[in-house]
Amino acid sequence: MTKLYYDLHTHTVWSDGELGPASLIAHAARAGVRVLALTDHDTMAGIDEAAAAAQAAGIRFVPGVELSVTWQGLTVHIVGLALDAGDARLCRALEALREARLRRGRAMVSALAAAGLGDAGAVLERDGIVSRVHIADWLVAQGHARDRTGAFKRFLTRGGVGYVAGEWASLGEAVAWIHGAGGCAVLAHPTRYRLSGGRLQQLVRAFVEAGGAALEVVTAGLDVGEIGRLARLAQRHGLCASAGSDFHKALPWRLLPGGLPGLPPNCTPVWHSWPEALPQEIG
């Protein structure tokens, strides 16, 4: 099987991943990745460490972020690639998103305590962002759920005692922040929103109208048919194609960095105009 040189969607402990930035880069290097983007949720705190580790490992590093946005009542994710991590407007926006996450975290902690499940306040003290994943892991550690999936289903999705809606940016705001920082916007893992074909078309059209540049055509868990459908969707709307493992940790359904099939030949890769772009695949 060929390996993709590029992995443009990964996470570390600064959001909801399980590896530090340097460890992520080491994993990527062992997997043969040549170009890697770190795209933690709503933070770029791991960028400097990852960039230094990538330089030492001979990997080209792409600064990125994954932004949570609200579109028609649905939370979707937009990946920003090739960003200026010091852009003042983007930094202010990320700070606001982290504060919104912290407010939601406090509300979830209060709700769980009121339901008699104990005090999860220690979760709020972590260095990275606070997400439902961290609350779910606390529930598992306290014996309230068998695993993360069970914790979400029972406590943290709509109707659960610990559910609190997120306060996210609009689609237009997120894309504007990315553009303002010199980057390109990618609609992440389109199939995971479980939209009908018609509604997915609406989302993609809204993304294009906002100035979006690419669709994540290849990601973990997709079969050949799904990749082909996303490739045609990208082509139909004039979007480039991106590829990323959405790596958090090594699991059967969440591949090591770079453990992805290549982009279909009818796609225009999002990296096609980047300086010193590499060939797509290793034979």
pLDDT value of residue 254:
66
Q: List, for the chain, all residue ranges whose pLDDT scores fall below the cut of 70.
A: 1-4, 251-254, 276-283
Helix count (H) and strand count (E) of the chain? 8, 10
Pairing assessment for the beta strands 74-81 and 35-38 based on DSSP bridges:
unpaired
pLDDT for position 281: 56
Q: Which residue has the tokens 């992995």?
A: 7
Question: Whose structure tokens read 């852009």?
Answer: 87
CATH superfamily for 3-93+168-282 is Metal-dependent hydrolases (3.20.20.140)
How far are the Cα atoms of 34, 110, 172, 279 from residue 276, in angstroms, in the given order?
12, 50, 30, 10
Domain ranges for the chain:
3-93+168-282, 105-156
* Burial grade of 186 (CB within 10 A; 0-12, 13-18, 19 or more): buried
Backbone angles phi, psi at 222, to 5 degrees: -90, 140
Integer Cα distance of 162 and 187 in angstroms:
28
The predicted structure's pLDDT at residue 259 = 82
Phi and psi angles of residue 231, each rounded to the nearest 5 degrees, phi first = -60, -45
Count of other CB atoms within 10 angstroms of residue 177: 25
d(CA 124, CA 143) in angstroms, rounded, equals 19
**Rounded to whole angstroms, how far apart are CA atoms 230 and 236?**
10
Which pLDDT does position 146 carry in this prediction? Answer: 95
